[in-house]
Amino acid sequence: MTDGCIAGGVAGVVVETALYPIDTIKTQLQVARGGGQIILKGLYSGLAGNLAGVLPASAIFVGVYESTKQKLLRSFPENLSAIAHFVS
């Protein structure tokens, strides 16, 4: 479970860091459509607050998902392992 938590946390942080500026630009474009101005500085402003939520959420999600999937794989016969992947 620890490996899944670490992997999920790292993946969540990497994805959020990569996509955060794109989301900021999208929001600026929506504001500009309403008559506001597009301001492209501060693209990473507020990222730390998002990471504070994304890191634990991603870690918990992937950690629980992986451990649940492994338990289901052990409980189903080998010829029905696709069900464990489908359920989890």
Band (88; pLDDT cuts 50, 70, 90): low
Torsion angle, CA of 81/2/17/57, rounded to 10 degrees?
80
Per-domain boundaries in the chain: 2-87
pLDDT in tens, 13-71: 999 999 999 999 998 888 888 787 888 888 999 999 999 999 999 999 999 999 988 88
Q: What phi and psi, each to the nearest 5 degrees, are found at residue 34?
A: -90, 5
Predicted local confidence at residue 23, as pLDDT? 93
Query: How much is the average pLDDT of 73-81?
Result: 84
Predicted local confidence at residue 83, as pLDDT? 82
Torsion angle, CA of 81/85/86/88, rounded to 10 degrees?
130
